[in-house]
């Protein structure tokens, strides 16, 4: 089995201020921990390419992309949302974060990789068709889903989101697209205060109260996610892998631990084995306690690589 590890040094250059939790140190912590536990040598290392402009157009308004590009600062920061800003390196990092997912889809569909993890930032699942939001500029997983549909002709693509925050941008982009099924849990009520009321018909949204622990989440996976995914029979499984539902992460108030992420990953791989020839592409979303993030990613990647 070949598991890809797709990243790029450009993703370290984007930053939004020393105070900001979505920081370059997130990727450094992941990389260093994967080395420390001996996982990194077992992965296929790939530099994330710049995403094709037409791939962005399938998920985002052209005017939004042009406007965002026009606002790249020569120095300092430009705010595009109350908690989201660009520095001179942001544009390249955002293009490569989306490009990592389309590259992973291409390689998994070609059989060159069985699955892949995209260690990239900025994250993407809050990015709406025409708005940056919640640390996100381009919706990496939605770009990847539409790429799989358009370029590879897939008729059924599953998107699974286990970030502590609802993936509102992903839902908005993929809502009522019969080629997509999105399943998620998220803390509620909580930022971005969406997802609990009137979800689109192709969404399985499971809002959970603060304090929910792994036993509750595993029950959601087994009793709600898996039946819906099996009924859908996805040809590709995409994961928005946020690790901020960890009990040590202060940006959420849920109670997951590394073993829970390994369990979720294993169950999703079983779905992929049944319906999608094992094809799984995962991309990093949240996770802000550096130690918990690194340990959780290691559990996720170790499960993907079956090590």
Any idea which residues carry the catalytic annotation?
Answer: 126
- CA angle 258/107/300 to nearest 5° reads 5
CA angle at residue 18 from 143 to 167, to 5 degrees? 30
| Rounded Cα distance, 249 and 246, in Å | 5
Backbone φ and ψ for 175, nearest 5 degrees, come out as -55, 130
Question: By CB neighbour count within 10 A (0-12 exposed, 13-18 middle, 19+ buried), where does 205 fall?
Answer: buried
Q: Residue 155 carries which DSSP code?
A: S
Query: For residue 211, what are its two tokens?
Result: 């304090």
Burial readout 41-67 (b: 16 or more C-beta within 10 A, e: otherwise): ebbeebebbebbeebbebbbeeebbee
User: Is beta strand 78-81 parallel, antiparallel or unpaired with respect to 84-86?
Assistant: antiparallel
241: closest CA among 141, 133, 161?
161
DSSP reduced 3-state for 282:
strand
């Amino acid at each position: 089995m070949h598991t890809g590890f797709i990243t790029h040094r450009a993703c370290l250059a984007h930053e939004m201020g020393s105070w900001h939790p979505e920081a370059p140190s997130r990727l450094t912590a992941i990389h260093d921990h994967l080395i420390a536990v001996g996982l990194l040598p077992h992965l296929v290392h790939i530099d994330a390419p710049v995403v094709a402009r037409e791939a962005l157009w399938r998920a985002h308004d052209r005017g939004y992309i042009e406007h965002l590009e026009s606002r790249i600062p020569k120095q300092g920061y430009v705010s595009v949302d109350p908690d989201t800003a660009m520095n001179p390196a942001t544009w390249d990092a955002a293009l490569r974060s989306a490009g990592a997912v389309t590259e992973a889809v291409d390689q998994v569909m070609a059989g060159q990789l069985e699955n892949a993890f995209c260690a990239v930032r900025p994250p993407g699942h809050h990015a709406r068709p025409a708005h940056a939001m919640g640390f996100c500029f381009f919706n990496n997983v939605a770009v990847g889903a539409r790429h799989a549909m358009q370029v590879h002709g897939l008729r059924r693509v599953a998107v699974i989101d286990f970030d502590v925050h609802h993936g509102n941008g992903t839902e908005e982009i993929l809502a009522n697209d019969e080629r997509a099924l999105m399943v998620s849990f998220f803390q509620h009520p909580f930022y971005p205060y969406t997802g609990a009321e009137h979800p689109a018909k192709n969404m399985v949204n499971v809002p959970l109260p603060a304090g929910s622990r792994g036993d509750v989440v595993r029950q959601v996976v087994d009793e709600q996610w898996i039946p819906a995914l099996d009924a859908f029979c996805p040809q590709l499984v995409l994961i928005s892998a946020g690790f901020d539902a960890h009990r040590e992460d202060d940006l959420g108030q849920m109670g997951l631990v590394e073993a829970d992420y390994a369990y979720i990953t294993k169950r999703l791989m079983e779905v992929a084995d049944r319906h999608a020839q094992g094809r799984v592409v995962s991309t990093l979303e949240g996770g802000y306690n550096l130690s918990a993030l690194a340990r959780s990613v290691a559990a996720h990647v170790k499960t993907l690589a079956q090590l």
